[in-house]
């Protein structure tokens, strides 16, 4: 049998149910691996090892009694440091919240626990959840396990690294403008941004906004699909929530790729994309594009996305942070100060236009999918970059207006409203992980996840496309030589 940390969550759950792997053995393995590698990678921040082991023992006893077991029974999971777990600090990577220890689990955490998942700890994020890298003054800088000199991206960077490094088999993230999709691409794993309402969300300050969604991440697409099935539910507290797709029951269904009409776009018609990424994307497509019935260059009209996002994003920042800004703006991260100050300058006329134009973008996008089954793009506009860069200041010589502009290939899809999955697609020409983004029809999340599982299985047969695996001996040696711990609190 492969090393425990190399096994998929699906396989680990099968072994637990067959009494061939103890949840205690699995949890100990994960905790030992976290203790050894986390000082190098900073994937996890606050931990709960004693309680996790107690819950693993209870899970083992349930197996031995022959109890009915949930779909995630005994599987360790990482929870992003923006979601409440009873007894663990929810710090948002900020000294403002370092003593914020909630007494109860929030809904999605409680739901995953009820289905058998065991929380190992919280995964690292950028300060207050906003930034191109998962670095903050409280916990430090999360590093890419494929090369610790490079960023994990953000804001679900800790989650992505925890999976890529084999620290836990499952972990959840969230996505506004690419917050789980970009880290998935940079670290060589899978991340799913569901249709808004697939996963009931009680954390959205604006309940009717489709922007911020909770989503699953997994080393493999089938694991992310498993976690999304566990997360999906209809709940009255979320006005966008809708009935769970019955196709989530059971395992992934193979998709006949030869029947699919697939559109491809290097840049969604408006996003800055590095020329090297464009070349790599075309090279990857040349290796797998002929598996579809039809493949053609096309995308919805997204020309106004940047202006719409600037206005609508500002509303949320002013709502969430203006009180702190007025009291002491220096307490906020520079990115957040920038967003609040920009938001305060936006007039009501611009906001009204943006809300109306967002509806028009959404409708054009849904009309687009009347002709196409899937849309495939690069997952990120640039390759993973060095920590010192903070964020890509320019692409192909074009200066980026702010820390977010380089993620346009992701946030364009956010404004469309459609579900999207990022899966690994080998390595780029720079030797670092390369991902593709696959966008599906609205509310057809189960089909999209099944298509991702099918494609990933196809990619595993090709040395140039299969999921890249980190060299852990190399990253430990790298981290020591770079004095990694000097960069962290």
Q: Which part of the chain has CATH 3.90.1300.10?
A: 4-304+353-487
| Cα separation values, 7 from 10, 11, 222, Å | 8, 6, 12
Q: What is the pLDDT of residue 402?
A: 87
| Cα separation values, 92 from 16, 85, 144, 155, Å | 33, 13, 20, 10
Nearest 10 degrees: Cα torsion 80, 83, 88, 92: 70
DSSP 406: G
DSSP 386: B
Phi, psi angle pair for 191, to nearest 5°: -140, 140
Q: One of 8, 134, 179, 241 is an active-site residue; which one?
A: 179
Q: One of 22, 80, 135, 174 is an active-site residue; which one?
A: 80
Q: What is the pLDDT of residue 2?
A: 76
Q: Using an 8 Å Cβ cutoff, are 199 and 231 in contact? A: yes
Q: One of 8, 22, 152, 155 is an active-site residue; which one?
A: 155
Between CA 132 and CA 152 the distance in angstroms is 9
Between CA 401 and CA 253 the distance in angstroms is 43
Q: What is the pLDDT of residue 487?
A: 52
Given a cut of 70, the residues of the chain with pLDDT beneath it are: 1, 250, 479, 482-489
Centre a 10 Å sphere on the Cβ of residue 36 and count the other Cβ atoms it contains: 12
Q: What is the pLDDT of residue 485?
A: 47
- The rounded Cα 398 to chain-centroid distance in angstroms is 27
Between CA 166 and CA 78 the distance in angstroms is 11
Task: Provide the whole-model pTM.
Answer: 0.96
Residue 179: active-site member: yes
Tokens representing 391 are 């964020």
Residue 365: active-site member: no
Name the maximum alpha-carbon separation found in the chain: 64
Q: Using an 8 Å Cβ cutoff, are 127 and 94 in contact? A: yes
Between CA 406 and CA 392 the distance in angstroms is 7
Centre a 10 Å sphere on the Cβ of residue 51 and count the other Cβ atoms it contains: 16
Fold of the CATH domain 4-304+353-487: Amidase signature (AS) enzymes (3.90.1300)
| Cα separation values, 224 from 189, 241, 255, 282, Å | 9, 20, 17, 26
């Amino acid at each position: 049998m492969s090393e425990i940390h190399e096994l998929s969550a699906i396989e680990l759950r099968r072994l637990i149910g067959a009494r061939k792997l103890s949840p205690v053995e699995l949890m100990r393995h994960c905790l030992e691996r976290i203790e050894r590698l986390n000082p190098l990678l900073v994937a996890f921040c606050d931990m709960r090892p004693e309680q996790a082991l107690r819950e693993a023992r209870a899970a083992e006893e349930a197996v031995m009694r022959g109890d009915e077991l949930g779909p995630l029974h005994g599987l360790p999971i990482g929870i992003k440091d923006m979601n409440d777990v009873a007894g663990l600090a929810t710090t948002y990577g900020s000294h403002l919240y370092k003593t914020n220890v909630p007494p109860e689990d929030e809904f999605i955490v409680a739901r995953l626990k009820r289905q058998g998942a065991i929380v190992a700890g919280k995964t690292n994020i950028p300060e207050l959840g906003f930034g191109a890298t998962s670095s903050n003054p409280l916990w430090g800088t999360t590093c890419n396990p494929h090369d610790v000199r490079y960023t994990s991206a953000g804001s679900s960077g800790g989650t992505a690294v925890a999976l890529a490094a084999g620290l836990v088999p499952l972990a959840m993230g969230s996505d506004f403008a690419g917050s789980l999709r970009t880290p998935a691409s940079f670290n060589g794993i899978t991340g799913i941004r569901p249709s808004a309402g697939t996963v009931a969300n009680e954390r959205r300050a604006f309940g009717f906004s489709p922007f911020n969604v909770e989503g699953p991440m997994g080393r493999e697409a089938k694991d992310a699909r498993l976690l999304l099935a566990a997360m999906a539910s209809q709940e009255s507290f979320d006005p966008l929530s809708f009935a769970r797709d019955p196709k989530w029951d059971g395992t992934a269904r193979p998709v006949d790729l030869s029947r699919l009409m697939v559109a491809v776009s290097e840049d969604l018609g408006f996003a800055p994309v590095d020329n090297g990424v464009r070349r790599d994307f075309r090279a990857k497509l040349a290796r797998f594009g002929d598996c579809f019935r039809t493949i053609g260059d096309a995308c919805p009209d997204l020309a106004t996305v940047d202006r719409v996002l600037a206005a609508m994003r500002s509303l949320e920042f002013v709502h969430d942070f203006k009180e702190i800004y007025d009291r002491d703006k220096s307490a906020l991260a520079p990115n957040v100060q920038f967003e609040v100050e920009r938001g305060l300058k936006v007039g009501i006329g611009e906001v009204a236009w943006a809300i109306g134009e967002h509806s028009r973008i959404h409708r054009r996008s849904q009309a687009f999918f009347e002709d196409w089954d899937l849309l495939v793009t690069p997952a990120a506009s640039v390759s993973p970059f060095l920590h010192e860069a903070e964020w890509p200041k320019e692409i192909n010589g074009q200066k980026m207006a702010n820390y977010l502009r380089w993620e346009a290939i992701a946030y364009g899809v956010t404004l469309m409203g459609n579900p999207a999955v990022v899966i690994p697609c080998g390595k780029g020409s720079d030797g670092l992980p390369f991902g593709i983004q696959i966008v599906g029809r609205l509310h057809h999340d189960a089909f999209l996840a099944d298509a991702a599982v099918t494609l990933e299985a196809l990619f595993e047969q090709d040395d140039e496309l299969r999921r890249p695996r980190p060299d852990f001996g190399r990253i430990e040696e790298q981290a020591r030589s770079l004095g990694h711990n000097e960069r962290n609190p």
